[in-house]
């Protein structure tokens, strides 16, 4: 059984990253390949809530737009995948959390949408000024939500896969690679930041890699079950 995943993002880089990790378990496509789905207000108070909301929004958009899904079922089973992820710092009570991408804009009048990585990093460093190393614990969290479109285009209750990567926050940025908070975050068991470790190492231990591992196992089981 050929499994297809429509990923709730227009970011082709993210789709390629997910597709590379899942390999032959599923074919991945960006939602931008299927028209112009409505944007989703990510107003839930948890990563899980936002991921599920995005997932169901895209699934129901596909379900109600016949011209988008006609013929897709002939090429295999369709699943809709969405994610939400971010950084949670212990001493800040889990902040920036669900606001990770727009952290620097939260207190700025008139600023909307995501903030530049540098601005987010500078705000975080400012809030953690003087915090000793033993209290600089943090974690990246990723939540994936997957809903299958069944016969009659019934949207199944989303399955959720979660991954966490523990580490600590440095007092300054180190490294040129990566994105977001990567230059500040040193994962447990390492002495270099995600920026320094590079994507090959990061993708074996990151929060997203752990969540995708759970998803990959689900796809393998589903594929075997459907072909029996």
Number of Cβ atoms within 10 Å of the Cβ of 27: 14
Locate 125 and state its tokens. 């460093």
Q: Give the span between the Cα atoms of 203 and 47, in whole angstroms.
A: 20
Cis peptide before 96 (omega within 30 of 0): yes
Q: Which domain holds residue 198?
A: 3-227
CATH number for position 37? 3.90.950.10
Q: Give the span between the Cα atoms of 4 and 102, in whole angstroms.
A: 31
For the stretch 5-62, pLDDT in tens is: 999 987 787 888 899 899 889 999 888 877 777 788 888 999 999 999 999 998 888 8
Name the one residue in this structure whose structure tokens are 């991945």.
28
For the stretch 65-99, pLDDT in tens is: 766 666 555 556 789 999 999 999 999 999 999 99
Q: What pLDDT is stored for residue 75 in this prediction? A: 57
Locate 84 and state its tokens. 């939400």
SS3 helix, strand, coil % of the chain, rounded to 5?
45, 20, 30
| Cβ partners under 8 Å of residue 209, min gap 6 | 21, 163, 202, 203
User: Is the CB of residue 77 less than 8 Å from the CB of residue 2?
Assistant: yes
| Cβ partners under 8 Å of residue 172, min gap 6 | 125, 184
Q: Give the span between the Cα atoms of 49 and 71, in whole angstroms.
A: 31
User: Is the CB of residue 5 less than 8 Å from the CB of residue 80?
Assistant: yes
For the stretch 202-215, pLDDT in tens is: 889 999 999 999 99
For the stretch 153-196, pLDDT in tens is: 567 789 999 999 999 999 999 999 888 999 999 999 999 999 99
* Tally of domains in the chain: 1
- The whole-number average pLDDT for the span 125-138 is 97
Closest CA to 34 of 69, 4, 76: 69
At 15, phi and psi to the nearest 5? -60, -45
Q: Which residues pair with 159 in a beta bridge?
A: 146
Q: Give the span between the Cα atoms of 144 and 98, in whole angstroms.
A: 14
Q: What does the H/E/C string look like for 211-227? A: HHHHHHHHHHHHHHHHH
Q: Give the span between the Cα atoms of 107 and 167, in whole angstroms.
A: 27
Q: Give the span between the Cα atoms of 19 and 59, in whole angstroms.
A: 19
Q: What pLDDT is stored for residue 80 in this prediction? A: 92
Q: Between 141 and 64, whose confidence is greater?
A: 141
Q: What pLDDT is stored for residue 95 in this prediction? A: 97
Q: Enumerate the active-site residues.
A: 84
200 SS3 class: helix
Q: What pLDDT is stored for residue 222 in this prediction? A: 85
């Amino acid at each position: 059984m050929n499994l297809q995943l429509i990923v709730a993002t227009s970011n082709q880089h993210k789709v390629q990253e997910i597709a590379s990790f899942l390999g032959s378990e599923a074919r991945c496509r960006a939602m931008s390949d299927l028209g112009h789905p409505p944007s989703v207000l990510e107003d839930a108070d948890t990563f899980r809530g936002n991921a599920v909301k995005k997932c169901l929004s895209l699934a129901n958009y596909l379900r109600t737009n016949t011209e988008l899904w006609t013929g897709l079922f002939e090429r295999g089973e369709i699943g809709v995948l969405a994610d939400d992820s971010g950084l949670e710092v212990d001493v800040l009570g889990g902040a920036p959390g669900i606001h990770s991408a727009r952290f620097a804009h939260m207190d700025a009048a008139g600023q909307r949408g995501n903030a530049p990585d540098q601005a987010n990093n500078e705000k975080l460093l400012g809030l953690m000024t003087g915090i000793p190393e033993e209290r600089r614990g943090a974690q990246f969290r990723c939540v994936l939500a997957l809903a299958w479109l069944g016969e009659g285009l019934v949207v199944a209750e989303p399955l959720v896969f979660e991954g966490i990567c523990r580490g600590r926050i440095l007092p300054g940025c180190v490294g040129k690679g990566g994105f977001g908070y990567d230059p500040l975050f040193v994962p447990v068991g390492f002495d270099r930041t995600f920026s320094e470790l590079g994507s090959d190492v990061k993708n074996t231990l990151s929060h997203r890699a752990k969540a995708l591992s759970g998803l990959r196992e689900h796809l393998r089981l589903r594929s075997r079950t459907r072909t029996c």
